[in-house]
Amino acid sequence: MTNSLQIRLQKAIADSGYTSRRKAEDLIVQGRVKVNGIVVTELGTKVSVKEDAIQVDGTSLDPTSTEKLYILLNKPRAFMTTLSDPEQRKTIIDLIPEISERVYPVGRLDYLSEGLLILTNDGSVANMIAHPRYEIEKVYEVKIFGRMNDYILKTLRSGVELEDGFAKPKSVRVIKQLPTKTWLEFRLQEGRNREIRRICEACGLTVDKLKRVAIGEVNIDGIAPGRYQLIAKNRLLRLLGIDADGQKVKSVNYRSTKKSIGARPGMGKKKTPTLLANDEKFHGLRKSNYYETLDRRKAIKAEIEAAKKAEYLKSRRP
């Protein structure tokens, strides 16, 4: 490998648009990457993108030739945040059929969550957005069953102990009261898997809907669910508080137009739910139960189809 200007192998793979830097590291460790025809499994390996030949599973990559794209997508519910799905569910790639370049999402939203996703084939920018040292704030609007009170709100704001450590939102506030549900705004600087849902469940709450509305000052205002917009790299970085050299220059915050409201006591009126949000009656509506219900429905449907087929075959016998 040449001694000209070099970068880490996983970054070169990510810059080519093949996959994210983190997944590129997995490919290297698995022995699926070759540099100049030689298998490389050491993550610290550096390469010259101009002179070294890089292959992944036999596919040649060129980190210098791929056009860099930056996409803001408003993900709807019931779409997978993956490039493909073994269960043939719809993925976010189905929402961007006009994009021919291979792009991948920065961070995730689970199947039932919706809102802002940033997609790119620029590994450097993806790493900046995902890296904890940049402390980029993420804003979510979360609809829960029931009504809030000051005690539940204080518990959420104080943080909870989860199986992977202590989790505390940067802020939580009530932004809308519905007849049977309450909208909350969460602000986080972490990106742990299903963090908000797990915080809510640890406090006895049940999430009905979760939507990410902003990452830094990047937001989905004006982007309809299922639609996307292209954004220039320099504007994207500016809205994240990062300069052209990849240095954090300021903290940026999304300014919501929604005002805070108090955690109201239940009075039996139509506008205010009488059941508290931590009432156990809501637990059967949780996401985990949703998937269990889907599995039960699939099993029942399969049994019905099998019975119909058996009955049909029986009727065909002489």
Q: Where are the beta strands (DSSP E) in the chain?
A: 7-8, 33-35, 38-39, 46-47, 54-56, 59-61, 70-75, 104-106, 114-120, 138-145, 160-162, 165-167, 171-177, 181-188, 207-215, 218-219, 228-230
Segment 215-227 shows an average pLDDT of 96
pLDDT at residue 314 tops 90? no
pLDDT value of residue 97:
92
Element (H, E) at 308: helix 287-316
What separation in angstroms does the CA of 130 have from each of 96, 116, 217? 22, 14, 15
Of all residues in the chain, the percent with pLDDT exceeding 70 is 89
- The lowest-confidence range among 99-108, 173-182, 252-261, 282-291 is 282-291
Name the token pair of 138.
């993420």
pLDDT tens figures, 123-150? 889 888 888 888 899 999 999 999 999 9
* Furthest-apart CA atoms within the chain: distance in Å: 82
pLDDT at residue 32 tops 90? yes
pLDDT value of residue 265:
55
pLDDT value of residue 268:
44
Which has the higher per-residue pLDDT, 22 or 70? Answer: 70
pLDDT at residue 317 tops 70? no
pLDDT value of residue 297:
57
Helices (H) and strands (E) in the chain, counts: 7, 17
pLDDT value of residue 14:
82
Segment 152-162 shows an average pLDDT of 94
- The residue from 52, 110, 150, 245 that is catalytic is 110
pLDDT value of residue 155:
95
Distance CA 5, CA 16 (A): 17
Smallest CA-to-CA distance from 162 within 192, 137, 140 is with 192
Return the SS3 of 56: strand
Segment 272-301 shows an average pLDDT of 71
pLDDT at residue 194 tops 90? no
pLDDT at residue 261 tops 70? yes
Phi–psi pair at 242, nearest 5 degrees: -120, 140
Distance CA 152, CA 154 (A): 5
pLDDT value of residue 22:
79
Binned at pLDDT 50, 70 and 90, residue 267 comes out as very low
Smallest CA-to-CA distance from 22 within 119, 126, 121, 164 is with 126
- Catalogue all structural domains in the chain, each as residue range(s) with its CATH number: 7-61 (3.10.290.10), 70-240 (3.30.2350.10)
Using CB atoms within 10 Å of the CB of residue 149, give its burial: 0 to 12 exposed, 13 to 18 middle, 19+ buried.
middle
Element (H, E) at 198: helix 195-202
pLDDT value of residue 62:
77
Mark whether 85 is an active-site residue: no
| Average pLDDT of the chain, as a whole number | 86
